[in-house]
Amino acid sequence: MSIYNLDRRKYIVGLVAILIVLVYMARLLALQILSDDYKKNADSNAFLKKALYPARGLITDRKGRLLVYNEPAYNLMVIMNEQHGIDTLDFCQTIGISKEQYVERMNDIKDRTKNPHYSRHTPQLFIGQIPAKQFSVFQEKLFKFKGFYVEKRAIRHYATTCAAHVLGDVGEADQIDIDSDAYYRPGDFIGKLGVERSYEKDLRGVKGIQIMLRDVKGRIKGRYQEGRFDRVPEPGRTLTLSIDKDLQALGEHLMEGKLGSIVAIEPETGEILCMVSSPTFDPHLLVGPDRGKNYQTLYKNPYKPLLNRAIMGQYPPGSTFKTSQGLTFLQEGIVNLQTAYPCYHGFHYGRLHVGCHGHASPAALTYAIQTSCNSYFCWGFYHMMQSAKKYGSVHNAMTRWKDYMVSMGFGYRLGVDLPGEKRGMIPNADYYDKHYKGGWNGLTIISDAIGQGEVSLTPLQIANLCATIANRGHYFVPHVVSHVEGKPLDTLYTRAHHTMVEPRYYNYIVEGMRRSVLGGTCKGANLPGLEICGKTGTAQNRGKDHSVFIGFAPMNEPKIAVSVYVENGGWGADYGVPLGALIIEKYLNGELSESSKARAESFAHKTIYYGTRTR
């Protein structure tokens, strides 16, 4: 029995020994062949691999005028394994920081929670984006500070203070950026907002590399194999924006002291001619070593200057939305051109009352657009929702209605080539079933008919509605980049999107909008020779109403479609109409008349913030 146990133990011990040997062999294989960790450490001792950063792509406006370009700057890098024995006080005085800041930065570099890719053998960013003038003094003494190296970079410079939300900014890549794209390493810079973000891969170019040979003491001895394995960086592509610099500047000037947005689109292409969000900020604030401090100041500003209201603001469209309702009612056969509804200072049904300003009654479609009659569109919406014979139920009618709204570009992101676009809100039947527990009808949600209630759109979507009307039933996804150097434009922006409404019905809406300018709520936009078509909106708000306007011109060969949204601006005719007319005049005529210049200055000096906290 004991002999049997000894034989068993012999085999077990042998098996364990074999397993141990196999484990060691596998580990050695992993370390020496499969893993390149040791090779990297050896290479870091023998070579210094310097990344050569490409020039970031330029950005111009639609006329080729330079908006963003590069200026030389420097990153100060440190290799911890080599950084020792320097005169810290002299270093701090030369670079212009305190001893405490030096210690704090060194600790941050070595803290793997803040710098997960830390290695004592590779260059780490100590200070980034040092302007050339500031760095020139330090460069003369660089030889004294062993372990510190210079990395030539560039910082963005802006030829204008306009279009900050469109242009965006460049900042240091965070850990998410580094983990998601192998192109970046700690200390690299990446687009953070605007086209700098959405076209990052085109703008950044391709890095090059320079390999320097070290001796056993880490001293640079020259280029490895005379630069045979070096790679020249490839510069980024130039972006041509569809933005007109002068039109953008006028829009921002008009919106000074106001909260809101102006968006202008070229209907034929979907190119955005101007995109104003107010308040705005100077893009130079987000450049250089003070970027972080300035960003925090802007972020904490109660008026939210970093918020691009043109694509992130979600507002009730007010009476501009009536154009979409008239089109839907015509296509669905709810109304025809002879259909007229009564309006005695508003829509009345039992105890329900939706007010309206005074005008002749009854009103047919084109007159209802001209005078912005609430009653007409409430009656049309009510008859559509309650048409059991046509739809079977209010649930089906609401679903059909929403399909029309979605086809017009509402309720979902349009797909503009800027980050952060919001979708707005177009309610559906399920939403109301949940909210009212099934007990609702056309009267319950009658406010949807006039762009109130649960309906909300972005200023971009409102401008796109106007462009769609100008095109008589189709639109192109709005975009701010008209050309990328060496690349065709994405087909997303060149393909026409058609609504569910036949083009012939759009002519009646256009007629009503033209009559509105000639003798209706948009009379302030009646400029000689421009054939402007317009529609006002006055969007109800907890405080003072918002002033809204859409307009396009010329009537039959449209070149520009514009939306204006001024928070707390009152009636649409108070701010929306005159500001929109000035934008149209400037674009079509190339300049403002003397009387229009005076009007522009008067509006630019009007402030209506009201201390409001916006979304």
Any idea what DSSP says for residue 413?
Answer: -
Q: What is the DSSP string of 464-493?
A: HHHHHHHTTSEEE--BSEEEETTBPPPGGG
What is the spatial distance between Cα 139 and Cα 131, in angstroms, rounded to a whole number? 12
Cβ(82)–Cβ(219) under 8 Å?
no
Question: 539 by DSSP, 3-state: which?
Answer: strand
**Cβ count near 26 (within 10 Å):** 11
| Cα distance between residue 584 and residue 606, in whole Å | 20
CA 324 from centroid of its chain's CA atoms: 26
Distance of CA 518 to the CA centre of its chain: 36
- The one-letter amino acid at 105: R
The H or E element containing residue 498 is strand 496-498
Nearest to 262 by CA among 496, 586, 542, 22: 586
C-alpha span between 251 and 575 (Å, rounded)? 13
Q: Answer yes or no: are the C-beta atoms of 120 and 40 closer than 8 Å.
A: no
Active site residue 602: no
Catalytic-role residue among 198, 261, 277, 319 = 319
Q: Fill in the DSSP letter of residue 267.
A: T
Phi, psi of 414 (to 5 degrees): -70, -30
CA nearest to 347, candidates 373, 369, 375: 375
Angle at 403 between CA 541 and CA 460, to 5 degrees: 45
Which positions are catalytic? Answer: 319
